[in-house]
Structure 1
Amino acid sequence: MNFTTKAALVCTTALLGTAAAAETMTIGITQNNVGVDSYQTTYEQSFIAAAEANPDVEVVVLDAGGDVARQIAQMEDLIQQEVDAIIIWPTNGEAVIPAVRKAFQAGIPVVVTNSNIAEAGFEFVSSFSGPDNITQGSRSAEIMCERFTALGIQGDARVVQISGQPGYTTAIERAKGFEDRLPEVCPNVTLVETQPGDWNREKSQQVMEAFLVKYDDIDGVYAGDDNMGVGALNAANAAGRTDGITFVGATNFAVGYEAMGRGEYWGSIYQSPVDDAEAALKTALDLLAGEELPFLNYFDTPKITQDNMGDYTKPVF
């Protein structure tokens, strides 16, 4: 999405007089890349719906389209508008730090949502709201190891990894969680190679096609989200190589859930974009209300596999 949308979400009652209007809080959000996947699309829709339900909130909804320079410009624009708070879903955890610092210096509280910025910028952030991505990666490694153990191949299994967008904190953290935890639970399993899939199903399919040509023996595929994981599955299906490969992802998309139901995809991490969006808005509002919050506000993201998927509803994204 290459345009800026301003959603004026003020209840009619807030427009009846200057006193009511004066109480309205304006919150700006600059998102990573709404059009890249259904998770981010659903997040935006849920964020706007949550704001519409609050008579005291007006939001300025922006999308960086995956462009760091555009996101920095959007941050500067929100600062110029003197919004009451800014929510940022970073395109790059390092590159956005100077823009976050400017907001901090302007006295505007910043909430980082979904994917944190690099640690060097923490001092300029009021709070983080989102999933614990390192824990997600760690849990995915546990799912993989448990499956290998059940199959009796934990002594010599070989895994390839398709990570997310390079430089993007979520991608870095999920990969770290997986890479650190896998040798702890399955020390004899080998991670043979990692390549980025950029959160894109088609790109991930191409990455997996290359892996299948390069390696005759692949026992497991870990993808940083189910969108990429299903891309890898599609490549393996096209090559007739799905037998004996365990597919594990993170952020359970509808396509991943469906693939689990077909018995093609083993497991993932259950994460709701609706919860994600609502938590970000609530965090910003709590800060503006003067509440003291922990720096890291995580919501739970449990394991989901073919064995327990019946306990979870199919994702809406």
Structure 2
Amino acid sequence: MCLSGFGSNCVRASSSTILFLLLLVQVCVCSTRAQSETSSSAPDIVAIIPDRSTAYPNGLHNGLLSSVRRYNVSLEIREIGDFNSEKSLLVLQEAIDSEVQPRIYCIWPVDIPSRQLMKELHDAHGVPIIQLNQLPSEESAWEWDHLLGYAGPSDALRASNAGLMMIDSLIEERGLSNPKVVALGYPGSYGGYHLSIAAFRQSIEDSSIEITHDLPLDWGNQPAYEAMIHLMDELKTTGQEIHGVYAMDDNILIGAYEALNDRGRLDGEDAVTLVGTVCNGHRDILGQGKQYGTTIQSPFLEAELAVDSAIEYLSTGNLTTIIRFTPNPIATTDTWETMLVEFLGEAYVADRLCTWTLQHERTNGLKNIEDADDPCEYVDCLFTPEALFLVGYVVAAINYALCVLGLALLYMYRKKKVVSIAQPFFLTLILVGALVDTTSIIFMSRDNLGYSKQNLDRSCMAWTWLLGMGQMMTTTTLVAKMARVKAVIGIGERAAIRRTIVTVRDVSGFIVGGLVLDAIVLTVWAVQDPFHWTISVVSRDFEGTILQARGECSSNGENFWVYPVVLILLHLAVLIYGNILAWQTRKFHQISDSRMVAVSLFNSIQLLMVAVIMLSLSGDSVAISYVVRASYAFLNNAGVILLIVGPILYKCMVGKGNVMPNIHDVASRAVGSRDSIEESRTYISGFAIPTSSGIGQGSSRAFNPISETEVDLFGQSEGNGLSSNTASNFGMPGSKPGIPESAQESKSSRVDFTGTIDNSVNRSQSTSQ
């Protein structure tokens, strides 16, 4: 209504009101349409199941998609990963929080927490749920409060069928009286585990079969592989035996198959019988008879059954049968090829229903060296060829023969003068050291093909001690020998007017000290970071599975290299010092063997340096490492024997054991002038001090004779004189003219290679010719 006078304004007000009303109606229509579209976008069926990463869930995906096409319904699949518990809880929680709900859920729960969230989902929205694959057990009867029904396999039926197959194989066919069986199952939190193990036990309870181990495992076949490794190591220790393995599905059985096959336990009279279920493993294992049997279980039929139940509910609002099972018939290595399965009025070839792969391809392996007592039973290990070990035994035998022969000849020729002057005690120690050192080759020639780890640990410790202590004994003995010669001859100092005794005990400190130092380092090494047998990884594949490994003696500490380096430097220092002593006594090599000692020690230095370099370059080759170590032990000891002991014994063998060098010529060359011989003349022990007989022009030196038999083992004389014949045998002159009278007091030195040096002042007794 408009008042007079307000006509134009009234018209404008009415137009604005009409426009506002039209806009309000439009908004309401759009909102209603949006709500209608949102409501209509909710699927009829939502399936919450594992993803396609494994064969069985992949078949379930295909079956669901194929089945819904026969009906005018919509389907949405929400994946929870590869039986991933965290992903399952996340997807279920998102469903609980969502306002958009389907008409019905089909859910495969992967664990008990997932089942609890399924209850919350039903309580929150009241949407009916059909549970797939996992039938509630007696312990989880509370699930029926929120479940509409169940569609899937019967865990109890297939486990019971597995028990029947185990009885047929172990008792009926193999005739075992009390067979032992291992059960490998799903995770303990998975409902199917408890149903399956209970049904399997019930199936075999009237037989003599005993379940020795019942092992719930993580998903997949790698846990089964590792479990069987640990189990076989345990059985090897306890001496027990197993005759069969039952796996709750064939995918688990693959891990057990590969572990047993690595150990050679699937062939022969003592072969382990394998029984699985679900037919989701490798078909050729069943076809070749390595697996006795399985049960036919099809995810495609399971999906058809679930969709059929869902359609029945959506059509009628009710289910005539709450629990519906797919078939799980027995299929053995003899029946699987021609077997047919009837379901929902259709006949299916069993082979097409299974989710197995046609050919077996290795999928499992050792991931960690520590998982097995002997990893080389499961992976390809690099071993030293047996032929090389045989060569090692041969060269060790050669050194043993040289040492034993040398000791026997030393005893036989112990009274020969060349043996006496060469100091038999030291020669014996050299041979003993070579024997000890050579024995290390025996303990090097071992690996885990023929010895237990405990024996190999002891062998690793043994050969390091034998090699180190044996070489140190040999080297320090040579050093002590040269040190004694140097002390007797008096190099570096003029002969003093005193009597000096240099015994074996005086220079034994070199030997004892070297052995003690070696023992200290080896003991600290053994206590702090023991040298033991270890298996180290050489290569892995892209999944971390070990492809190749090698066994060797090693230490585990970060600073493991310190101990061998200290030993090498210590031995090198002793070798260098021995060379210095040999060089200092070089002018007396005819009586001290310094030349051959120098050659032997220098040879040892070269061998040590070459061995260290070769070992550092050997890499992963255990064969090269063994050859270097064994060659070093053999060549070093053979060199010492042949260079030091060999020449002396050879002289005795050819009849020159009592032929002595010309001592005055040696002394003359040592002092550089024959004019100084009278002040520093050197005599072998057993020679009496010469007395002058007429000093002056035409006078000559006279010697008191002793018999040759009076020179003892070490060249020490018990007589007072020496005959001219005996003196000439030793290359000593019987007289020397031209001694002036002023030299009536002459200084002489009496040297005994047992260690006695007599630098006393002797007065000459003049006698006229």
Q: Normalising to structure 1: TM-score of the pair?
A: 0.85
Q: Which moved more, 1:41-50 or 1:246-255?
A: 41-50
Aligned to 1:285: 311
How far off its partner does 1:33 sit? 5.3
CA distances 1:109-163 after superposition (whole Å, capped 9, x unpaired):
1000011343221111000001110111111001101111223444210001110
What is the letter of the counterpart of residue 73 of structure 1? L
More helix by share: 2
- The match for 1:140 among 151, 162, 170 is 162
- 1:26 is aligned to 44
Q: Can you list the C-alpha shifts for 1:227-257, whole angstroms capped at 9, x where unaligned?
A: 11121111111111113211001101251x3
Which residue does the alignment assign to 2:75?
59
Count the aligned residue pairs.
Answer: 294
1:180 is matched with: 202
Superposition deviation, residue 292 in structure 1 = 2.7
Point out where structure 2 has 5 or more consecutive residues left out of the alignment. 1-35, 340-349, 357-769
- For residues 24 and 98 of structure 1, the distance between their equivalents in structure 2, rounded to whole angstroms, comes to 21
Matched, 1:106 2:125: yes
Structure 1 vs Structure 2 CA RMSD: 2.3
Identical pairs, percent: 19
Check if 1:226 corresponds to 2:250. Answer: yes
Report the residue type matching 1:230 in the other structure. I
Greater Rg by CA = 2
SS of aligned partner of 2:279: coil
In structure 1, how many angstroms separate the alpha carbons of the residues matched to 2:123 and 2:311?
A: 17
Name the SS of the counterpart of 1:289 in structure 2: helix
Q: Deviations over 1:40-73 (max 9, x none)?
A: 122112212323x145222221122233343233
Question: 1:224, 1:33 → 2: CA distance?
Answer: 20
User: How many Å separate the matches in 2 of 1:167 and 1:179?
Assistant: 19
Residue in 1 that maps onto 2:290: 264
Which of 302, 309, 315 aligns to 2:336? It is: 309
On the 8 A contact 2:253/2:281 being kept in 1, the answer is no
Higher strand share: 1
Q: Among residues 244, 248, 262, which one is paired with 2:275 in the alignment? A: 248
CA distance in 2, matches of 1:275, 1:104: 30
1:193 Cα deviation after fit: 0.5
Q: Tell me the equivalent position of 1:121.
A: 143
| Contact 1:24–1:56, Cα closer than 8 Å, also in 2 | no
The answer on whether the counterparts of 2:163 and 2:204 sit within 8 Å (CA) in structure 1 is yes
Question: Which residue of structure 2 aligns with residue 10 of structure 1?
Answer: none
Instruction: Tell me the equivalent position of 1:12.
Output: none
> Could you list the runs of 4 or more consecutive aligned residues of structure 1 that deviate by over 6 angstroms after TM superposition?
none
The one-letter amino acid of 1:277's match is A
Runs of 5+ unmatched residues, structure 1: 1-17
Give the structure, 1 or 2, with the largest relative contact order (CA under 8 Å, sep 6 or more): 1
> Aligned pair in 2 of structure 1 residues 213, 153: CA closer, same or farther (>3 Å)?
farther
Q: Indicate how the Cα distance of structure 1 residues 254 and 70 shifts in structure 2: closer, same or farther if over 3 A, else same.
A: closer
Superposition deviation, residue 25 in structure 1: 5.2
Taking the aligned partners of 1:301 and 1:73, their CA distance within structure 2 comes to: 32
Structure 2 distance, partners of 1:140, 1:90, is 24
Whether the 8 Å CA contact 2:181–2:211 is kept in 1: the answer is yes
1:214 — aligned with what? 234
Partner residue in 2 for 1:38: 55
TM-score (norm: length of structure 2): 0.36
